[in-house]
Amino acid sequence: MKIKLILGCLFLLLVYACSRTQSNEFEIKYEIEGIQSTTASVTIFGNKDAVTCEDIVIENGKFVFKGTTTEPAVARIWLNNDPQLKKAAHDGRGFFPVKSEQIWVIIYPGASMNVTGDITGKDYMSVNAKDKAENGFFAELAQKMMPLISQIGNIAVANSNPNITDDEKEANREKSKQLNAELEQVKLDFINSRVNSIAAFWLMEDMLIRSEIKPEDLAPFLAKADKKKYADNYFYKAVSYRVEGALATSVGQICPDIETTDSYDGQPFSLSDMKGKYVLIDFWGTWCSPCMKGMPHMKAFRDKHRDKLQILGVSNDKDLEIWKSAIEQNNMDWPNIIIGKGDKDFVAKFNVQGFPTKILLNPEGKILLRESGEKEEFYHTIEIIITNTNT
C-alpha cells in the first residue's frame, strides 16, 4: 500500500513538472547587488501580442520578472533612474540611452531561471541570465558588447561638457570611432559563430533597423541558419524579410505587389491596381513628427500633379482608431493601409529603416527612387522625373 502511495505521489509530481515545463509561463528571479532603482520598465522585442508580464518592483536589488508567452521573445528591462548606469549629459537636460544600462533576457514558454550578481562600482549591466541554450548565447554576446557600448556612452557624456577643449573633443571622437569599430567586429564575430541562435537573429534585425549593416552583407550568414529549427521564429522571419526585401525593392527592380485587407475602408487592396500612373509609396506613422509635418506638402504636390501621380500610404501604427483619425484630420484622400504581421509586415518586406521612407514607382511599377526623411529636394527630383515622358 505504501509503495502504491509513493508511486502515485511520484506520478503526480512528474505530471506537475511536465505541465509546468509545457506551460506558457516564465519566471526569472534576479538578485543583483549594487542596483539603486526601485522600479523598472519592460520592452518586448518580437511578437509583442504573444507576451504578458507583470509590473516589476525592486527591493534591495531583488525582483521577479514573470508572465506568459506563447513564443520566444527578447525582453529589455530598463532600470528606472539608476544613477550608476545612466549616461547623463552635463547640461542636466537629458541622458544618452545605451543598451549597456539595461538587462536583456530571452523569454520563452516554461523559462525559469535564478540570476545573481553584483554591479557595484560598474557603469554597465554586467549580470546576465544564463541557461543551457539561448540565454547562454545572449550572455556571451553581452559580456563582450556591453563594456564597449558603455565606453562609447561615457565619451558622449564627456563631450557634452561645455568646458572641454576642441582638441579633447576631437581625441574623444577618434576614440569613439575606434570603439565603434571594435563593437562592429564583436557583433559580426558573434553572428558568424552563433548564427543559429535567437540572439544572433535579434542582433541582425537590430543592426538592419539601425542601418549598421547592409542587408546583402547579412545574406551569407542567413544562408547558414537552420531553417527547419527557426522557420517560425519572429526574428529569423523579420531578418529574412528584410534581406529579401532589400534586394527586391532596390532602385531598378519591379516593385513587389502589396495585397491586404487592412485598408482604411476594410476593402481588399492591391498595389497592382494603381499601375498606369506614377505611385509614391509613403511609409509613415502617426507617432512620426516629420511624417505628419510633411503631409500637407506631399498632398499639395500630389494635387499639382494629380493627372500623373498618386499616393499609397503604408502606416506602421498599432492603434486603428488613432490611425484612422489621423487620416481623417489630415484629409489624406489616397489609399491607406496599415501593416500586419508576417508576410503583411511591409515595413520589413521593403526593408524600411527610417520614417518617413518614400518610394517612387513609374507607371509600370518599376522602382525609380527611394528616400528616407522629409526633404524638399526630394519633390524637386520627383517633379523632374514625372514631367519627363521618356522615363
Residue 244: strand, helix, or coil: helix
Q: Which of 208, 44, 149 is nearest to 141 (CA)?
A: 149
pLDDT tens, residue order, the chain (391 aa):
555 554 454 444 444 444 444 589 999 999 999 999 999 999 999 999 999 999 999 999 999 999 999 999 999 999 988 888 989 888 777 888 899 999 999 999 999 999 999 999 999 999 999 998 899 999 999 999 999 999 999 999 999 999 999 999 999 999 999 999 999 999 999 999 999 999 999 999 999 988 899 888 999 999 999 999 999 999 999 999 889 888 889 999 999 999 999 999 999 999 999 999 999 999 999 999 999 999 999 999 999 999 999 999 999 998 999 999 999 999 999 999 999 887 899 998 898 888 999 999 999 999 999 998 888 888 999 999 988 755 4
- The pLDDT assigned to 21 comes to 45
Residue partners of 152: CB distance under 8 A and separation at least 6: 98, 176, 179, 180, 183
Q: In this structure, are strands 25-33 and 112-118 parallel, antiparallel, or unpaired?
A: parallel
Q: Which of 313, 322, 237 is nearest to 269 (CA)?
A: 313
Report the distance separating Cα 89 and Cα 234, nearest Å.
36
- The pLDDT assigned to 91 comes to 73
Give the CB-side neighbour count of residue 160, counting CA atoms within 13 A: 16
- The pLDDT assigned to 342 comes to 79
Which cell numbers in the block locate residue 101?
A: 544600462
Report the distance separating Cα 315 and Cα 84, nearest Å.
39
Report the distance separating Cα 214 and Cα 212, nearest Å.
7
Q: Where are the domains of the chain?
A: 21-192, 195-248, 259-386
Q: In this structure, are strands 73-79 and 102-107 parallel, antiparallel, or unpaired?
A: antiparallel
Q: What is the CA radius of gyration of the chain?
A: 25
Per the CB < 8 A criterion, the answer to whether 243 and 227 are in contact is no
Report the distance separating Cα 196 and Cα 150, nearest Å.
27
Query: CB neighbours (10 Å) of residue 19?
Result: 10
Which cell numbers in the block locate residue 238?
A: 523579420
Helix runs in the chain, H state only: 2-21, 134-159, 166-193, 198-209, 215-223, 227-230, 234-248, 289-304, 320-329, 346-349, 376-386
CATH of domain 259-386: 3.40.30.10
DSSP code, position 389: T
Q: Which residues pair with 283 in a beta bridge?
A: 314, 357
Secondary-structure percent of the chain, ordered helix, strand, coil, rounded to 5: 45, 20, 35
Q: In this structure, are strands 278-284 and 309-315 parallel, antiparallel, or unpaired?
A: parallel
Report the distance separating Cα 138 and Cα 102, nearest Å.
13
Report the distance separating Cα 313 and Cα 388, nearest Å.
24
DSSP code, position 365: S
- The pLDDT assigned to 80 comes to 86
